[in-house]
A and B are shown apart, each in its own frame.
Chain A
Amino acid sequence: MKNPYLPYPVRIDKIITETEDRNLRTFRFVFLNSKDEEKFSYTPGQFAELSIAGKGESPIGIASSPTEKGHVTFTVNKVGLVTTRLHNMKEGDVMGIRGPLGNWYPWEEMEGKNVVIIGGGFAFTTLRSSIIYMLHPENRPRFKDISVVYGARNPGMLLYKDELAEWEQRDDIHMHITVDGTDDPDWKYNIGFVPTITEQKITSADNAIAIVCGPPIMIKFTQPVLEKVGFPPERIILSLEMRMKCGIGMCGRCNIGDKFVCKDGPVFSLAQLKNMPPEY
């Protein structure tokens, strides 16, 4: 019997400090047993439990794309017991990864459509996975226009700065990077909250699907903007967070109504959420 609680052993291959407050770091893991990499076959939007012996587990969205072979990456905010320990670990250290868990963004439904990606703060991780995935030469023809609105408090708090700059240069993706505010005179992108910039830049819902990932306040104010542009609730896709333990729908804490965020989610359409109790 396959034990769904048993993590795959991994080695920390690389650690990148992403933000100026040093609270967000990207961890690149390599599987100790190469066969485990095949078993850990994932789709953008899924998450995994990062598992540290002696501390516990923490559910984190997968930031790498399945098109990036040889490793898997997570960007982790330092918050509690497990993530603080992780931030104190070094390259070469051994720990565990359990997953992949949960569902993913509706890739089949997105095929042949314009894709609008809206992200805020450190919730950009599975969106990064999605962008890398869509921009892969094999996948890019499957999607029409790709637009991205991504905001952070200030320039120093943006994730994946090098990749953002690279995507800005490309003509097959429309980037709208924004910050809430900055005193940097050389800042060459937008200034304003994500909902405001969305209202300015995303002007059509024609044949489009929107993926929204960010803090609750950003989601709350972005939702009416998208609905005004003409996105029906079925084509507004959200990824939720919950306290989790098992990640496989058994331990009972991450439910919204009869759905588990860990197993039936974390990805839900706004249409689905409207039929669920507002307890998240």
Chain B
Amino acid sequence: MTKKIYTKKEWMEVLKGLADTYKIFVPVRDGDFHTFKALDETKIPDFDFKNTQLSPKSLVYPQSERMFEYTLDENAPDANIIKESKKDYSPQAIVGIRPCDAHAFQIVKPNFDNPEYQDPWWIQRYESTTFVGLGCNDPGSTCFCTSVGGGPFSEKGLDVLLYDLGDTFLAKALTDKGETFLEKAQGGKEADEKAINAGEGLAAGAADKIEVRVHTDKLKDKVQTELFDAPFWDDVAFACINCGICTYLCPTCWCFDIQDEMVGKQGDRIRNWDSCMFPLFTLHGSGHNPRSKKVQRVRQRFMHKLKYYVDKHNNGVQCSGCGRCVRNCPANIDIRQICELMNVEC
């Protein structure tokens, strides 16, 4: 597999040159935070960041997405018939995605792409995307990727991995998609032994910087109904205000709602991100609601991530350790503590 080295200045030019082949998304400073934006003349990529405030999940799975369209105009021959919308699946590349966020797409994949049903929109956009990761030299204080099957230089779900070597980027192709990307990334030179060793050194050092250890080893053996009835859920849920920010920021939360929206006689069927934190999520037409209480919804979120997913997919926990929910929860609810409780209690 190709290994190339680019000076940072050169890399910015390379990205501009790739715009003919890919729609390029890069981290851009936006106020106090970084966010992924489509690269154009007005955007300055900034690769000096811990992680973006929002994960790039919306680039594969938009927050709102048109599924179908239709007309209710009775004069039209296809009135009231629901039809597929035209979609653009031309190649895109997310450059600078952190390994945890790339790993998250691997965690989400079996939900949208399984032997029984395939979600055409998620799959097509996923397949049209090249994931160019940027290893984390200096992981954040809330990061715990090493506890959940990832790492600051994990290659899971990535096509290319970039190592920030100070003045240069070492770029390592990991897949055929990645090879193609580096082939099109004109410039740079073949990486020498020294650069490769420097990259490996960085990766080893970064993993050691993550001191937090979250234990997930016993989750699989727990009995679902016993964990469900564990005594700690009331305490865990007490402070929660059901704002839903954790589900919104989470790169592995995938729940959605489907709504019809009309303008005049033209309508769209749209899917929007939804959240298990909201009582409407499960409210029956009859008024009955299996998760009407806050504690039930909080329990659902953690049970889903740390038990149901584990049992169903045999693919570890439904968490990539990015730490966004820990950093942003207004009530300081910490999934790392809850995971420890679940792993030990009963």
Contact = CB atoms under 8 A, between A and B. Distances in A.
A242 B14 CA distance: 52
Contacts of B112: 250
Q: How large is the interface on B (under 10, 10 to 19, 20 to 34, 35 or more residues)?
A: 35 or more
Contacts of B281: 243, 253
Candidate in B80, B123, B225, B256 with the most chain A CB atoms within 10 angstroms: B80
A94 B79 contact: yes
Contacts of A254: 282
Contacts of A7: 82
Contacts of A258: 224, 307-309, 311-312
Interface string A247-259: 0111111111110
B121 to A, nearest CB: 9
A54 B262 CA distance: 6
Contacts of B296: 279
A96 B84 CA distance: 13
A83 B286 CA distance: 12
Contacts of A18: none
Nearest to A2: B118
Q: Is the interface of A mostly helix, strand, loop or mixed?
A: loop
A9 interface: yes
Contacts of B237: none
Contacts of B116: 248-249, 263
Given A5-B67, A255-B304, A263-B116, A242 B284 contact: yes
Contacts of A252: 254-256, 274, 276, 304
B285 A79 contact: yes
B293 to A, nearest CB: 11
Nearest to A4: B117
Contacts of B72: 53-54
A9 to B, nearest CB: 5
B120 interface: yes
A32 B81 CA distance: 10
Contacts of B308: 255, 257-258
B258 A57 contact: yes
A79 B288 CA distance: 13
A271 B269 CA distance: 39
Contacts of A279: 228, 290-291, 296, 300
Given A2-B118, A252-B274, A253-B282, 13 more contacts: A1-B118, A6-B84, A32-B81, A54-B262, A56-B260, A94-B79, A251-B257, A253-B274, A253-B276, A257-B303, A263-B117, A276-B225, A279-B300
